[in-house]
Amino acid sequence: MTSVKPEIEESWRGLLEDQFAAPYFSVLKEFIVAEKARHRIFPPGKLIFNAFNLTPAGRVKVVILGQDPYHGAGQAHGLCFSVPEGVKPPPSLLNIYKELNSDLGIPVPSHGNLEKWARQGVLLLNATLTVRAGQAGSHQNRGWETFTDAAISSLSASGNGIIFMLWGRYAQAKENLVDTSRHHVLKAAHPSPFSAASGFFGCRHFSRANRLLEEAGREPVDWSL
């Protein structure tokens, strides 16, 4: 990320052009450049906007919100909860797979790559898009949240019938960005091992989302991987 505008899918560029021109985004870019000079940063630069590039704004059916990229080597690739093939699925993702199996009977996948969901219109968005290696939360409150909040707000204003899956208190705090008269909000506990048994398991969000899509005459998501 330099003075050149970030490479982001065209529909998102149209929605977020004013964010790229805002003073806070220049400060954010300077911060990221300085971080890269001193530390290893995840995900790789070309994958920072991967969620946007794989899921154009006009195709978004479902939004799943995460907080921070994975901070281990090789894990983060720009999609919340997802890891590239060949990387061991983290505990929260394994719990997502358990709920999928319970809800829809889908076998637990052998990998953790959720790109198939993204290509079907599931926006897998972290609130913070970068992180310093080995230091969870190290890029929070630097401007990314302003940017991703703007993305959520723009989706809410420009679309209809999008299903927002808000897992855990952090994600649920974003509900105020969503026009609930136009969109659906599904809330549950976070799939982390610390909280999944407190309301994530049994939430049946995947079947509920597909039912809402079908009722609106839209293609349901094939959640199998």
Residues taking part in catalysis: 68
Helix axes 144-158, 23-38, angle to 10 degrees: 130
Phi-psi region of 134 (alpha: psi -120 to 50; beta: other; left: phi over 0): left
Q: Per the structure block, which two tokens stand in for 118?
A: 């993204």
Burial 167-180 (b: 16+ CB within 10 A, else e): bbeebbebeebbee
What count of other Cβ atoms lies within 10 Å of the Cβ of residue 194? Answer: 12
